[in-house]
Each structure stands twice: as structure tokens, then as C-alpha cells.
Amino acid sequence: AHMCPTPFPQELEEVRRWEGARDVRLLDGNLRRWEGLLLPNNPPYNAGAFRFELTFSPYHPLEPPCATLRTPIYHPSVDLEGRVCQPLTTHRHWEHTTRAIQVLQDLLLQLDSPDPQRVLRPDLARELQEHPEEFRRQAEEHTREHAEQRPNP
């Protein structure tokens, strides 16, 4: 089978220069698996950093990569396994010209502004809509307990 080219080193460089992430590296030296820390800008998540993993298909860029969060997060769009509801990387919406940095920027934006339309945890989505103060309190506490420390700028 013909293998498509791996995600290009310049894409990795682009992500490493982006201020939304830190510590981005290949997992086990594997070009198809990246990990790093995402740094949300907005409360309740900006008190911590969240480890992500980005996995590329052998058919990249014809097939979308998959982003997961390794750090537990109290968020309606992320399930307990760290799977993320991210329309951008579904087969229906994926464009082969979309770059890795755009996938991570989309993910960060989603952490910063939870979207009631992107739901993997209906209980949290409901809490966010009906009791926003309570949601925020829980999410802040959860971030304090589970998130990684933010690296110094």
C-alpha cells in the first residue's frame, strides 16, 4: 500500500512556535503521534495546562487526525476518556489542506468557549446552561485538582 507523507516537520515547527501550546514533541519519536500542553486563555481552565495528543492517520492528510486530551477536564465537549467533540476533524468536514495547528487552535477555542452544540457530556452541558455559576465553580476546582502546572512564559 502506498503511504502518504507523514505530517511535515514544518507543521510541527509551526505548532511549536504557537503561544497556545508548550512542550510539543513526538510521542516515542513517532511522527504520527504528537503530544504537548494546551494553555487555555479563559477561566475556569486558564489556571492549568492540559496535555493533548494528536494522532495522524497513515493516510494523512486525506484522513483527519484525532485530538484527545490526556488531562481530565470538566467540560461538556470532552468525555471521560478525553475524546473531544470536534466537527473540524470529522470525515464530513475535514479538508486535506487543514493544518495541524488549525486543529489545535480549534480545540483551544473550544476549551475557552464551551459550545452547547458540541456535547459529549449532556449533564455538564445542562449544568452550564442552567447553573453557569455552579458549572464554573466545579470546573475551577476540577482544574485545580487535575490540570498540569502551566509552564513559565
Active site positions, annotated: 85
Q: What share of the chain is helix, strand, coil (3-state, %, to 5)?
A: 30, 20, 50
Q: Which three cell numbers stand for residue 15?
A: 505548532
Contact present, 111 and 67 (Cβ < 8 Å): no
13 SS3 class: helix
Alpha carbons 122 and 25: distance in angstroms, whole number: 33
In sequence order, the β-bridge partners of residue 66 are 55
135 SS3 class: helix
Alpha carbons 59 and 135: distance in angstroms, whole number: 39
